[in-house]
Amino acid sequence: MESLIQNFFNLEVYAQVFPHLLNGLWTTIWLSALVIPLGAAAGLALALALTQSRRRWLRWSLIGYIDFFRAFPPLVLLILIYFGGPFLGLELGKVAAVALAFVLNNASYYAEVFRAGLEGVARGQMEAARSTGLTRAQAVRLVLIPQAVRNVLPDLVGNSIEVVKLTSIASVVAMPELLRAARDAQSLVYNPSPVMLAALMYLALLWPLTRWLGRLEHRRASR
């Protein structure tokens, strides 16, 4: 037990590396704040095109996009964009490469969530909205989307939590996010305690969201 504490719960090491990991936590937070809205917006656009378009070729193209990026490993996608892009004349900075990779990947997951929400709205809602004089675009924006989001809010929160944890792959392009900072600190102190501290910081960051998610799911189940 003493060896376990010394190697994973060493308070002296925690105190030594905490400022460095705090910088990594900040990177994780702002990176999440960047990629989650972008992915959600792209996913909503995909879901609207998939459910509202009558063009079969477009729907099948979107289905192919969604299936492909849900199956393709996001880590490999980021490596291809950042390290393979220059061979195609596409040289992106670290933040731009990470944002692009996350949007391409996360949009496919958000699209499936939004699609389920849109398809869960009764068809009569659109007809009722149009009968009040709203245009189709206004009816979608003011009536369809708010109801769809309410239908799948727990799934949106759950997916966003997964995105926060997935930001750790940004370390492959040397972005100093939390897990990268922990591994760098581990190599300096020759002790795995920084990685455990990073896990505890992830827990502190995401625990309120998981509790909120639990309440949302319980509320949905009760309805």
DSSP letters of 184-210? HHHHHHTSSHHHHHHHHHHHHHHHHHH
Two tokens, residue 87: 């061979």
CA–CA gap between residue 62 and residue 60 (Å, rounded):
5
State which residues form the domain around 62.
1-222
- The total of other beta-carbon atoms located within 10 Å of residue 194's CB is 28
- Tokens 């625990």 locate to 207
Q: What is the CATH number of the domain that holds 90?
A: 1.10.3720.10
- DSSP annotation of 51 reads H
Angle at 109 between CA 213 and CA 63, to 5 degrees: 145
b/e code 64-90 from CB counts within 10 Å (16+ = b): ebbeebeeeebbebbbebbeeeeeeee
b/e code 3-36 from CB counts within 10 Å (16+ = b): eeeeebebeebeebbeeebeebbebbeebbebbb
CA–CA gap between residue 64 and residue 207 (Å, rounded):
35
The number of distinct structural domains making up the chain is 1
The amino acid sitting at 14 is Y
CA–CA gap between residue 108 and residue 172 (Å, rounded):
22
Q: For 139-159, what is the HEC assignment?
A: HHHHHHHHHHHHHCHHHHHHH
> What per-residue confidence (pLDDT) applies to 115?
93
CA–CA gap between residue 135 and residue 130 (Å, rounded):
6
Digitized pLDDT (tens) for each residue of the chain, 223 residues in all: 777 777 778 788 888 899 989 998 999 999 999 999 999 999 999 999 998 888 888 889 999 999 999 999 999 999 999 999 888 888 888 899 999 999 999 999 999 999 999 988 887 777 787 778 788 888 888 888 888 898 898 899 999 999 998 988 888 887 888 888 888 888 888 888 888 999 899 999 899 888 888 887 777 767 6
> What per-residue confidence (pLDDT) applies to 223?
64
> What per-residue confidence (pLDDT) applies to 81?
93
